[in-house]
Amino acid sequence: MNISPLISARRVVALTGAGISKESGIPTFRDSDGLWKKYRPEELASPEAFRKNPQMVWEWYAWRIQLVRNAHPSRGHIVLAEMERHYPEFHVITQNVDGLHQRAGSRNVVELHGRIDRARCTGCGRVYEPAPIEDIPPVCSECNALLRPDVVWFGEPLPPDAWEMAVELASQADAMLVIGTSALVYPAAHLPVLAKSRGAFLVEINPSYTPISSLADITLRTGAGEGLDLIWKEVKEHVEG
Ligand SMILES: [Zn+2]
């Protein structure tokens, strides 16, 4: 495995998806189990679903928020936080909403899909963090309007600031790690393509084949934690040796 471009890189970006949080016990969007199995994500995570039944949507979110609160960062999250301290410029761009990167110690995190444990007033826009889920559906203490989860739902655009930042980081990166994301969901899927077209060294860590695999310089067919451990060990050996 020749990872020398990653060893000499100054600007490194990690794009992460559900695969890294799965190792923290957070079920991926597509395989929520139990009670919610009979619903498609689109039936719970969309503006239409919220308009129709805010109570039900909030029950689902309250359940997921509890999962996130009880979860711990995985090995992969921890390695990425260590890498941030090593490289002159290191950013995580994540499609996850669980905040586990920050809890692992990462500081430069761009959240493309918002944060699940945060609510936003549909009336005045006030932000509540953590999300108040004692009474469901929660309402704003200022204006009494309904609060909604501060995440990006199906059919909604990404937060423009986060997206702009992600594009800038991808286009300037010397190396990009694509971890635990099928890279199927646009526009996030555009980021590795952009980085590669600007000359970045592309490393993919994913147990399954994805559309990024054919583009990647190196692919590790492993889980997030195992793959990052391997890569990080290599980088450290070269630096120390
Ligand atoms: Zn309000």
Hey, what domains does the chain have and what are their CATH numbers? 4-26+73-113+158-240 (3.40.50.1220), 34-70+124-151 (3.30.1600.10)
pLDDT, mean of residues 219-225: 97
Tell me the C-alpha distance between 50 and 158, whole Å.
Answer: 18
Average pLDDT, the chain: 93
What is the mean predicted confidence (pLDDT) over 146-159? 96
Is residue 157's pLDDT more than 80?
yes
Residue 35 scores a pLDDT above 70: no
Per-residue pLDDT at 170 exceeds 70:
yes
pLDDT at residue 30 in the model = 62
Is 58 a residue whose pLDDT tops 90?
Answer: yes
Show which residues are catalytic.
113
Distance 50 CA to ligand 1 centre (A): 17
Q: What is the pLDDT of residue 189?
A: 86
CA of 120 to the centre of ligand 1 (A): 8
Phi, psi of 40 (to 5 degrees): -80, 150
- Long-range residue pairs from 51-54, CB within 8 A, at least 24 positions apart, any chain: 54/137, 54/146, 54/148
Distance CA 238, CA 9 (A): 13
- DSSP code per residue over 3-34: -HHHHH-SEEEEEE-HHHHHTTTPPPGGG--G
| Over residues 144-148, mean pLDDT | 98
Residue count of the chain, please give it. Answer: 241
CA of 68 to the centre of ligand 1 (A): 25
State the DSSP code for 36: G
pTM of structure = 0.95
Give yes or no for a contact between 93 and 169, defined as CB atoms under 8 angstroms apart.
yes
Asked if residue 61 has pLDDT above 80, the reply is yes
pLDDT of residue 1: 77
